[in-house]
Structure 1
Amino acid sequence: MIFRKAEKEDFYKIRSLYWNLINQEQDDPSFPHWKKGIHPSDEMIQNSIDREELYVLADGDEIAACVIANDEKVDGYADAPWQIDSDEVIILHVLAVHPDYRGKGLARRLVENVIEQERKAGKKALRLDVIENNTTAEKLYQKLGFRYIQTKTLYYDVVGEMTFKLYELVL
């Protein structure tokens, strides 16, 4: 399994990973309500690849897991009681593990690699939000050292207003 930045040729494999996950998980109440072609959109995936913000775990020619790491945040982040008051912060988005690779610790491995990458880049913290009832994701982030900050209603175009739990890892 190789950790690397996504490349242009990975686009369709990454989109397929998200779509397979949506097909399999859309009826699970803890699934974050992603929608094919809407979130993550083709434009979001392509732009993240172009800006070198999309990371993957590749198994040969297959993309087993991916995540976007950048500084884009929703308005609700501004007044959260974060531990670090800095612009040198990265937000994790749309972390996904292909259904065929579930249960192998790939989400953990992917996030650990991103933590190391961003630490080396001089970032001060990683932040993220988890849909309120996604306890599996919360347990993963807590094991990785992320600290619960606040439960908050956030607005995302794809789902509207929903309750999320905010987490932060000081690097």
Structure 2
Amino acid sequence: MEFIIEAGKLSDIDEIERLYNEMNDALEAGINYPGFKKGIYPVRENAVEGVEEGYLYVIRCDGRIAGSVILSHKPEEAYIAVAWNIECSYDKIIVIHTLAVHPDFVRKGIGHSLMNFAEQHARKQGMKAIRLDVYEKNYPAIRLYERCGYEYVETVDLGYADYGLPWYKLYEKVL
């Protein structure tokens, strides 16, 4: 399979929203490792904001959006009190948010390709590190991040306990 990764456009929003909805339907029907909830997260507004701010990227396969990721400089509030491996301001750090893969493309290397892209993108921009959070029971994603060289830093509460998601693991890759 050949993939193309590029910045998302406003014309992609409807297809990204379908990706989110179909992914959430598939997760609900199976094992919902990331704890995503249809209508709550991720939703169209996340994609619109990511595109408008220039942080959302899509991966295309055969003309379809197979996945997407948001690469911003915006940490979750809980990140601030954490003892990270490298200290620097968030203008030199990429934070990975909303890594999503369409159910038709699961286990085809989409997540790994997006993670590799995030690292290449961060290095080109002179970033010092990449950070992310992952629900503590999202075992497939944790395996992916660890295989990509991310180091576990700490487990924190991001404020989603009401949704049954009390603890998130924080990972970092120093570049």
Structure 1 residue 159, shift from structure 2 partner: 3.6
Equivalent residue for 1:127, pick from 131, 137, 140:
131
**Is the counterpart of residue 101 in structure 1 residue 105 in structure 2?**
yes
Runs of 4+ in 1 over 6 A off after TM superposition: none
Q: Given the alignment, which residue of 14, 18, 31 partners 2:20?
A: 18
Q: 1:151 aligns with which of 149, 155, 162?
A: 155
Task: Report if the CA contact (8 A) 1:35-1:158 is conserved.
Answer: no
Map of 2:170 onto structure 1:
166
- Of all paired residues, the percent bearing the same amino acid is 35
Distance 1:29 1:136, change over 3 A: same
Contact (CA 8 Å) 1:29, 1:133: kept in 2 or not? no
Shift of 1:80: 1.0
Structure 1 residue 92: Cα displacement: 0.5
Distance of 2:140 and 2:27 partners within structure 1: 13
Q: CA separation of 1:158/1:101 partners in 2, compared to 1, >3 Å: closer, same or farther? A: farther
Q: Deviation per CA, 1:48-91, whole angstroms, max 9, x where unpaired?
A: 11111001111133100111110122221111110111111111
TM-score, length of structure 2 as denominator length? 0.90
Query: Out of 49, 52, 60, which is 2:51 matched to?
Result: 49
How far apart in 2 are the matches of 1:28 and 1:49? Answer: 29
* Unpaired runs of at least 5, structure 2: none
Instruction: Determine the C-alpha separation between the residues in 2 that align with 1:55 and 1:157.
Output: 29
2:119 aligned partner: 115
CA drift of 1:160 comes to 7.5
SS in 1 for 2:75: coil
* Residue of structure 2 equivalent to 1:58: 60
2:46 partner letter: M
Instruction: Write 1 or 2 for the structure with the bigger share of helix.
Output: 2
Corresponding residue number in structure 2 for 1:2: 4
Q: What does residue 71 of structure 1 align with?
A: 73
Between the aligned partners of 1:111 and 1:59, the Cα distance in structure 2 is 16
The alpha-carbon distance between structure 1 residues 126 and 158, as it changes in their structure 2 partners (threshold 3 A), is farther
Q: Which amino acid aligns with 1:7?
A: K
Q: Distance in 2 between matches of 1:91 and 1:155?
A: 18
Give the number of equivalent residue pairs.
Answer: 171
